[in-house]
Structure 1
């Protein structure tokens, strides 16, 4: 059933987001990212004690593409 929508004010739309007004069958946002971080970067919890000494992260990627992402 069609919708009746009044005034709409959009302040911002982020990457890989969807803005829809009215009827829709399917919405499928997608995004891709490559994250580089050193050892111990994504640890979570209370009272962590991490001892890595000297640590280095290699961010050189000569092929630039790891896996292609396609939408159907």
Structure 2
């Protein structure tokens, strides 16, 4: 069934977001990210005691593609 849409104002659309007006069969946004973090970076909670005397984050990655999304259109 067709959709009737009135005036629409779009202020901004994010990089990995989807904007759709009207009928749609499938919406499939895709994005990927690589995060590097050292020891104790993602600790959450109250009263944490984290002791990292010597920490090193290895950011060398030999392969070029970790999560291919090119064919997922």
Q: How high is the TM-score relative to the length of structure 1?
A: 0.85
Higher relative contact order structure (alpha carbons within 8 Å, sequence separation ≥ 6): 2
- Taking only aligned residues, the RMSD between alpha carbons, in angstroms, comes to 1.5
Which ranges in structure 2 are unaligned for 5 or more consecutive residues? none
Q: How high is the TM-score relative to the length of structure 2?
A: 0.84
Match of 1:66 in 2: 66
Which ranges in structure 1 are unaligned for 5 or more consecutive residues? none
**Runs of 4+ displaced beyond 6 Å:** none
What is the total number of aligned residue pairs between the two structures? 72
